[in-house]
């Protein structure tokens, strides 16, 4: 879950719903990635692993709040990661490799010692998948990983900020930079966001489902976070 604390409640966004929003940022990027279909598929499905864990709200009793993607217990998280990447590999080897690289970098940066065997296993998965790719595909992976992380961060920015707020989300506290260009999110009003400079081919809409949960853990309402991203 992505967890945003509000007065009297927590706003929860499922990880896969956030990833689908990441895919919308990628789909409307003016400079298309290559290979297009596999890269867009990877970005939109990079958190498919979280569909099982996010099927219900898991409460962190010690912290008095729902578990988020930042503090979710290691063992079930790593099991979900592996299962999600196994699923992606059956659908698109390039997308699976890209998502494996994404998870490996996150675990190496933010994980604990018990999670490192997962990172090593994913490095071996990537070697195996690269052996099935053309040289051009292998050469595009690092660039497209940076693009995935950019779109991931932009979607997290939307999910974790109240409209009008501009805190940069973990794990992207330094802002958004891609291909040497820094992009600044700018709120036109509470329902309209743009990036400066504009990287998009056209305006588009985001509709992200969310759940409000009270501080006592009681589910309060489900709704849609609606936003217009303009040029």
What are the pLDDT digits (tens) for 53-91? 999 999 999 999 999 988 999 999 999 999 999 999 999
Enter the pTM of the model.
Answer: 0.95
Question: Residue 229: beta bridge partners?
Answer: 193, 204
- Low-confidence winner among 80-89, 93-102, 175-184, 205-214 (lowest mean pLDDT): 175-184
- Low-confidence winner among 136-145, 163-172, 183-192, 217-226 (lowest mean pLDDT): 163-172
Q: How many CB atoms lie within 10 A of CB 135?
A: 8
């Amino acid at each position: 879950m992505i967890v945003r604390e509000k007065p009297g409640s927590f706003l929860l966004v499922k990880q896969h719903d956030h990833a689908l929003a990441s895919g919308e940022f990628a789909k409307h990027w003016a400079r298309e990635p290559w290979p297009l279909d596999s890269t867009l598929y990877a970005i939109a499905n990079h958190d498919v692993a979280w569909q099982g864990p996010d099927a219900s709200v898991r409460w962190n009793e010690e912290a008095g709040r729902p578990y988020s993607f930042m503090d979710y217990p290691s063992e079930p998280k790593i099991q979900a990661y592996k299962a999600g990447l196994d699923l992606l590999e059956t659908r698109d080897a390039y997308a699976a490799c890209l998502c494996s690289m994404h998870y490996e970098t996150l675990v190496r940066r933010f994980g604990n010692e018990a999670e490192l065997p997962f990172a090593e296993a994913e490095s071996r998965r990537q070697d195996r998948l690269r052996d099935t790719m053309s040289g051009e595909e292998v050469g595009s992976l690092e660039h497209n990983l940076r693009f995935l992380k950019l779109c991931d961060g932009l979607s997290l920015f939307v999910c974790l900020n109240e409209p009008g707020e501009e805190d940069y989300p973990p794990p992207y506290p330094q802002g958004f930079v891609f291909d040497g260009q820094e992009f600044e999110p700018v709120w036109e009003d509470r329902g309209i966001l743009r990036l400066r400079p504009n990287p998009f081919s056209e305006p588009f809409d985001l509709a992200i489902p969310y759940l409000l949960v009270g501080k006592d853990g009681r589910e309060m309402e489900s709704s849609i976070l609606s936003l217009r991203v303009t040029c």
